[in-house]
Structure 1
């Protein structure tokens, strides 16, 4: 009987296998029937290369299918997984110093010193760590020739974005205590709006290692946000003490950062109607913000978004960021060579632009030198200058040269005696950490692999140089180089291959614990009424927005036009 069933199965799969790219036969064989059908849908669309040109609602369906398949087949645990409930979540109503006790089934999930997970099974490259030589690859394909920017889409504030609350608070008890005043729950900040500094010039903040003034400015802004939240919470409930105010404000500030990252920063990074809709669906669901604000979270993630779900969903694999996520988040090409400083005392020009006064090398704005320079320039002038400066494009030959001879720092922000070649090091790190090279990476994420350099790029010079470095073997292409060389979707500042890994994986503090009991009524209201970085800036520096920002988003170049109203409902729009 078994041979007959096997034969019948082979006959039924024959039409599938003829249509499906040969590299996917094995993975499709392991899928459920429903997943096979879903894969056929995205595979058909991928062959046509049209998902980003589909009407928005169809594009969202494509992305929802992809997300489901990647959650099923691209999450791999690293390390041991405890079974059964390990602790009572009510015993840990706040985020702990080192990230422990986030998941009731595994107290170590996402904590300091926990493993990075995997989206792709490790690919042993011990015999190819230096093939081709990382320094040669960086020199021939990455090193900046002439600065290429992103136009009006993405500015230097976007390039400095801090991503999560650990940059403000730190990752251990020592760091958390260092930044606190221990009065009314507040954090340390100077009267001029900048971070305070140690006697040796190091900034007092959660994470200062290998930092620069762009990050320091955002750290200072969110210290002010934290302190303002403390004031609001204390006004609502004067009985709250220092510790309670601090812990509640830390939760609220972290949620604000996550929300800004989801529906503002990512939307500007992937500036299309489809991704605007997708990011808002992530947070609010298809029913939208007004419905959710009025009736609360109704139904599952599709109707009301991930935030406020009854419980977090880890798809059977303990939550973690992954080695592959680290690999696609290498974005140092966003940094330009220089930051043109604006004259904030002069009258503004068209679209609230300020005249240039001088340029300062970005290499002078990193580390201890950068902190000293920030004290001279001041918060407002630095912020306005960064807001009006486009960041670099993520393309070949646009990696800053000064990062090839960089003084790195230890965990305490102290300079090390050695220098590093950062682009070469990043290529080497991917190989050392067994991250798949570009084509294998695409294959693992169910993207049709390239078979020749022309599939990757239309740039003749790039093709010639790729052949010079890698020969005709497209399988040897390093991930970082491939991501920079890949043809970009219109509106995308990153490659399609990198984008697909930007999955929002939730914790209980954004799901079943996203409530008034955990955040307080005022804290939850604070998160729900913050829609963008612009909202945070206007709370603390209203004059900055009124005088110098014309753009709709604080992450766009500030003198760019505001987004024009569009009467067509978002999900019914057709990308241009």
Structure 2
């Protein structure tokens, strides 16, 4: 009994999967667009709930003098250690607590939205809440798109062709292969723990966290005094290599109340592919226009990996796609093997080219395109945290704080005015920087210590 792992079949659209030519399809729960919906939600009702209703701002909760995303007391969320924290954060995506890295990034961009909203409100006294909110939202969406495509993707070896404009004939839908073999797989492989550092890159008083202790919990963020220590740790730590090795925290993961038991993340990824009818590794390669492999050595040059594959599978045509792509030799200057690389390139190319509201296709943002293209994640970090310095490209680990080049005091950036021109921000200096994105994945002047009521008052306040 203890050797069995609970698995829930993926919900599917009932009228699909009935016969050949009618493949099983799955309902969309989140948008494929890079539109900031993990912050703002794709639901009008939830977005309205998350808005403050004044000054174009999003709601925040005061935690030890810092703006955090809205929260409420709950008995539902538990950490993987069985703790039962009293606070659940709310943003546009219900999975915001899946790991503390994701939570930190979402808090960061909520602060960025409010920073922009405050600037727009100050410069446009005749604008109402709706005008300010929509403009700030559009700017944040553009920032997320620019950082993801100009900084994050190149850092992992994904270099797309130059943008040539909106193409309505392109299908932006996320493929099952991308979701199951890159999104899930990459997220599982990237980290082996959560380093927590103070400004001097010394271990914070709250201590480093095992990977499993950063799932489905707000306790670690609150106890660390906010998101700063997690962001510093992410910028310092190096990513694990994408391979067949899976750390114990992911092979023996106690998943808390949302799952009710132990799970093996690698086994779940394999089963998820089988559940959704994902084809075998060799057929996947053939479908992508790649050559089929005929020997174990065609997949990996590592003899140990070859032997493990031969022990687990009868022949190269029976390999689960997930195992095959994880066993592949990595391409030069990329975190991916040949098959994964093609899946990622195809998916991000389609998502960008099919987006009518892509920032480089938006006439309202034309005058700001160069500014977006020079933006770094470190800019957003330095503007919205108490982190005073960081490496300018946070997607490449740096362990020597004395070599950090981006500081609050050495980088003046322009403030978006919300109009067709960009006015330099002359009254205050804002610093620039960048942070490591996790799935993720994913994607402000110093945040205001806004006056907030307690958590319940903040969430239940009537705007």
Q: TM-score, with normalisation over the residues of structure 2? A: 0.68
Q: Distance in 1 between matches of 2:48 and 2:191?
A: 35
Q: Distance in 1 between matches of 2:373 and 2:123?
A: 17
Runs of 5+ unmatched residues, structure 2: 1-14, 17-25, 75-86, 406-463
Q: Is the 8 A contact 2:50 2:59 kept in 1?
A: yes
Report the Cα offset of residue 455 of structure 1: 0.7
Q: Is the 8 A contact 2:108 2:381 kept in 1?
A: yes
Q: Is the 8 A contact 1:176 1:206 kept in 2?
A: yes
Report the Cα offset of residue 395 of structure 1: 0.8
Q: Distance in 1 between matches of 2:54 and 2:251?
A: 40
Q: Find out whether 1:253 has 2:101 as its counterpart.
A: no
Q: Find out whether 1:312 has 2:167 as its counterpart.
A: yes
Report the Cα offset of residue 520 of structure 1: 9.0
Runs of 5+ unmatched residues, structure 1: 1-78, 81-109, 117-161, 283-304, 410-414, 564-576
Partner of 1:556: 396
Partner of 1:532: 376
Match of 1:426 among 242, 264, 269: 269
Relative to structure 1, the CA distance from residue 495 to residue 185 in structure 2 (aligned partners, 3 Å threshold; closer, same or farther) is same
Match of 1:492 among 318, 327, 334: 334
Partner of 1:469: 312
Match of 1:192 among 66, 87, 90: 66
Q: Is the 8 A contact 1:339 1:360 kept in 2?
A: yes
Report the Cα offset of residue 266 of structure 1: 0.8
Relative to structure 1, the CA distance from residue 375 to residue 214 in structure 2 (aligned partners, 3 Å threshold; closer, same or farther) is same
Report the Cα offset of residue 324 of structure 1: 1.4
Q: Distance in 2 between matches of 1:343 and 1:249?
A: 31
Q: Is the 8 A contact 2:331 2:338 kept in 1?
A: yes
Q: TM-score, with normalisation over the residues of structure 1? A: 0.56
Relative to structure 1, the CA distance from residue 356 to residue 229 in structure 2 (aligned partners, 3 Å threshold; closer, same or farther) is closer
Partner of 2:106: 219
Partner of 2:49: 178
Report the Cα offset of residue 537 of structure 1: 1.6
Partner of 2:155: 268
Q: Find out whether 1:365 has 2:214 as its counterpart.
A: yes
Q: Distance in 1 between matches of 2:102 and 2:342?
A: 26
Report the Cα offset of residue 216 of structure 1: 0.8
Q: Is the 8 A contact 2:50 2:91 kept in 1?
A: yes
Relative to structure 1, the CA distance from residue 202 to residue 436 in structure 2 (aligned partners, 3 Å threshold; closer, same or farther) is same
Q: Distance in 2 between matches of 1:227 and 1:540?
A: 10
Relative to structure 1, the CA distance from residue 490 to residue 400 in structure 2 (aligned partners, 3 Å threshold; closer, same or farther) is farther
Q: Is the 8 A contact 2:57 2:113 kept in 1?
A: yes
Q: Distance in 2 between matches of 1:520 and 1:465?
A: 53
Relative to structure 1, the CA distance from residue 220 to residue 528 in structure 2 (aligned partners, 3 Å threshold; closer, same or farther) is same
Report the Cα offset of residue 418 of structure 1: 4.8
Relative to structure 1, the CA distance from residue 203 to residue 113 in structure 2 (aligned partners, 3 Å threshold; closer, same or farther) is closer
Helix, strand or coil for the counterpart of 1:202? strand
Runs of 4 or more, structure 1, over 6 Å off, are 560-563
Relative to structure 1, the CA distance from residue 511 to residue 165 in structure 2 (aligned partners, 3 Å threshold; closer, same or farther) is closer
CA deviation string 1:415-463 (max 9, x = no partner) = 2435443321211111221222211111111111211101111211111
Larger Rg: 1
Partner of 1:322: 175
Where in structure 2 are the equivalents of 1:154-169 lying within 5 Å? 165-169=36-40
Helix, strand or coil for the counterpart of 1:325? helix
Where in structure 2 are the equivalents of 1:125-524 lying within 5 Å? 165-189=36-60, 190=62, 191-200=65-74, 201-209=87-95, 211-270=98-157, 278-279=159-160, 281-282=161-162, 305-306=163-164, 309=165, 311-315=166-170, 318-327=171-180, 328-329=182-183, 330-344=185-199, 348=200, 353-354=201-202, 358-368=207-217, 371-378=218-225, 379-402=227-250, 404-407=252-255, 415-471=258-314, 473-502=315-344, 503=346, 504-505=349-350, 506=353, 507-510=355-358, 514-516=362-364, 524=368
Report the Cα offset of residue 374 of structure 1: 0.8
